[in-house]
């Protein structure tokens, strides 16, 4: 445990480095921050902090920079006392921008990522609701016209997905109602991924009288379920990376960009620890080498009280954590509120 003086010196170094991105020495700290001690005392404290692993010394500078260990201590302390510094007018503007032309959930998530990148100046990432582990509440097949069928699938969170398919032959409303009733009696309460596995066996075995119709409908329902289970990821502000001196090396920046553009990798990262409300990983805490110089801040958003997705930012480890955490939290809360208000069925 660091004493109060060491903490003040360390936080002064972190604050300076976050702002300027330059190594800092004891004389600069003494002049810039009123710590009530001499430059020599600060230098001794910095030496101790370096030995304890909280400071690193770049090869090309006499100054010091914070280590990942220092940022972790800073963030953990910050999380105990953080208060939103986003004023009420900006909060209202953000919410109004989110609600403009919100017709689809995917559009809401994409707009949220765009706004988050704009207010933080970092690269933002967000995934659409992940609902394959939710349970089936209702499924309905409705004839429209010209051999078209509307499939309505509702999960236990109330998220509705509608899909229209065209059939090769006409199917009566009575047949579709009978099939819908059967599916609900057999599949209601199963997770959506289990529904996908069960539907072939259940329908072919127990709906033999409708075998010709069922043979046409099974692929349609499976395709609809596949579309529901597919998680989309949106990233915005990718070029913001080039604004930071840590990524002045073009090859290094391109490696990070390629990593972020890998959908499967990023979805896997975001789905890890999926139910933690807010997650902050710093530098070497990240599993992948491409993220070892980055911090990742994510927050979950909810629908009807259930965690369904995540939104967050990626930036250098010296990111403005206060602003980033507040912004990520604000966007996640707004998404949750809008989902409950406009997409609840």
User: Is the CB of residue 117 less than 8 Å from the CB of residue 313?
Assistant: yes
Query: How do residues 197-233 score in pLDDT, each as one tens digit?
Result: 777 777 767 776 667 677 777 777 777 777 666 788 9
Quote the pLDDT of residue 228: 66
pTM: 0.79
Cα 82 from Cα 197, distance rounded (Å):
46
Most confident of 36-50, 175-189, 267-281: 36-50
- Which has more confidence, 4 or 231? 4
Answer with the one of 80, 103, 120 that is the final residue of a domain. Answer: 80
Statement to judge: residues 208 and 244 lie in one domain: no
Query: What phi and psi values does residue 285 have, to the nearest 5 degrees?
Result: -70, -20
Looking at the fold, whether 328 and 249 belong to one and the same domain comes out as yes
**Where in the sequence is the domain holding 302, given as residue range(s)?**
87-130+231-342
Distance CA 292, CA 286 (A): 6
Q: What are phi and psi of 114, to 5 degrees?
A: -65, -45
216 and 117 in a common domain: no
Q: What is the rounded end-to-end Cα distance, in angstroms, of the chain?
A: 52
pLDDT of residue 85: 66
CATH code for position 68? 1.10.10.10
User: Looking at the predicted structure, is the pLDDT value of residue 149 above 90?
Assistant: no
Strands 65-66 and 123-127: unpaired
| 126 and 207 belong to one structural domain | no
Alpha carbons 64 and 52: distance in angstroms, whole number: 13
| Same domain, residue pair 238 and 333 | yes
Q: Are residues 8 and 140 in the same domain?
A: no
Tell me the CATH number at 108: 3.30.450.40
List the beta bridge partners of residue 263: none
pLDDT at 112: 95
91 and 37 inside one domain: no
Give the domain-ending residue among 203, 229, 255: 229
Amino acid 179: pLDDT = 85
Percent of the chain with pLDDT over 70: 91
- Single out the residue in 229, 264, 283 at which a domain terminates: 229
Domain total in the chain = 3
Lowest mean pLDDT of 12-21, 70-79, 333-342, name the range: 333-342
Q: Please determine, for residue 345, whether its predicted confidence score (pLDDT) is greater than 60.
A: no
Q: What rounded mean pLDDT belongs to the chain? A: 87
Residue 140 has pLDDT above 80, yes or no: yes
The rounded distance, in Å, linking the Cα atoms of 281 and 24 is: 24
175 and 56 in one domain? no
Quote the pLDDT of residue 233: 93
CATH number assigned to the domain comprising residue 144: 3.30.390.60
Q: Are residues 247 and 220 in the same domain?
A: no
Over residues 85-129, the pLDDT tens digits come to 677 787 888 888 888 766 678 889 999 999 999 999 999 999 988
pLDDT in tens, 223-267: 777 766 678 899 999 999 999 998 989 999 999 999 999 998 999
pLDDT(280) > 90: yes
Percentage of the chain beyond pLDDT 90 is: 49
| DSSP one-letter string for 277-331 | SEEEEEGGGSSSGGGTTEEEEEEEEEETTEEEEEEEEEEETT--HHHHHHHHHHH
179 and 323, same domain (yes or no): no
**Contact by Cβ (8 Å): 180, 141:** yes
Pair (304, 265) in one structural domain? yes
Q: Which of 296, 300, 282 minimizes the C-alpha distance to 324?
A: 296
Q: Are 66 and 115 part of one and the same domain?
A: no
C-alpha 323/C-alpha 75 separation (Å) is 12
290-341 tens-digit pLDDT: 999 999 999 999 987 888 899 999 999 999 999 999 999 999 999 998 888 8
**What is the C-alpha separation between 345 and 343, in angstroms, rounded?**
6
Looking at the DSSP bridge assignments, the partners of residue 152 are 140, 162
């Amino acid at each position: 445990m660091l004493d109060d003086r060491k903490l003040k010196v360390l936080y002064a170094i972190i604050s300076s480095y976050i702002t300027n991105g330059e190594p800092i020495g004891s004389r600069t700290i003494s002049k810039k921050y009123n710590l009530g001690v001499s430059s020599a005392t600060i230098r001794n404290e910095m030496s101790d902090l370096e030995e304890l692993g909280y400071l690193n010394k770049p090869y090309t500078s006499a100054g010091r920079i914070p280590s990942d260990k220092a940022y972790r201590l800073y963030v953990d302390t910050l999380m105990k006392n953080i208060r939103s510094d986003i004023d009420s007018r900006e909060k209202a503007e953000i919410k109004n921008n989110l609600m403009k032309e919100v017709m689809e959930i995917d559009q809401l998530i994409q707009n949220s990522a765009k706004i988050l990148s704009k207010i933080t100046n970092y690269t933002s990432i967000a995934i659409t609701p992940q609902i394959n582990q939710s349970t089936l509440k209702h499924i309905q097949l409705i004839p429209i016209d010209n051999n078209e069928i509307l499939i309505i699938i509702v999960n236990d969170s109330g998220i509705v997905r509608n899909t229209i398919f065209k059939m090769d032959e006409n199917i009566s409303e009575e047949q579709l109602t009978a099939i819908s009733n059967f599916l609900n009696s057999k599949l209601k309460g199963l997770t959506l991924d289990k529904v996908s596995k069960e539907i072939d066996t259940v329908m072919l075995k127990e709906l033999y009288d409708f075998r010709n119709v069922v043979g046409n409908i099974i692929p349609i329902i499976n395709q609809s379920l596949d579309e529901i289970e597919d998680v989309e990821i949106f990233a915005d502000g990718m070029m913001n990376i080039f604004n930071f001196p840590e990524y002045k090396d073009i090859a290094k920046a391109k490696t990070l960009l390629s990593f972020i553009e890998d959908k499967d990798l990023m979805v896997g990262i975001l789905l890890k620890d999926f139910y933690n409300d807010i997650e902050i990983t710093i530098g070497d805490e990240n599993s992948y080498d491409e993220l070892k110089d980055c911090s990742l801040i994510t927050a979950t958003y909810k629908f009807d009280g259930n965690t369904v997705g995540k939104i967050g930012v990626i930036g250098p480890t010296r990111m403005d954590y206060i602003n980033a955490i507040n912004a990520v939290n604000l966007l996640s809360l707004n998404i949750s509120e809008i989902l409950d208000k406009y997409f609840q069925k």
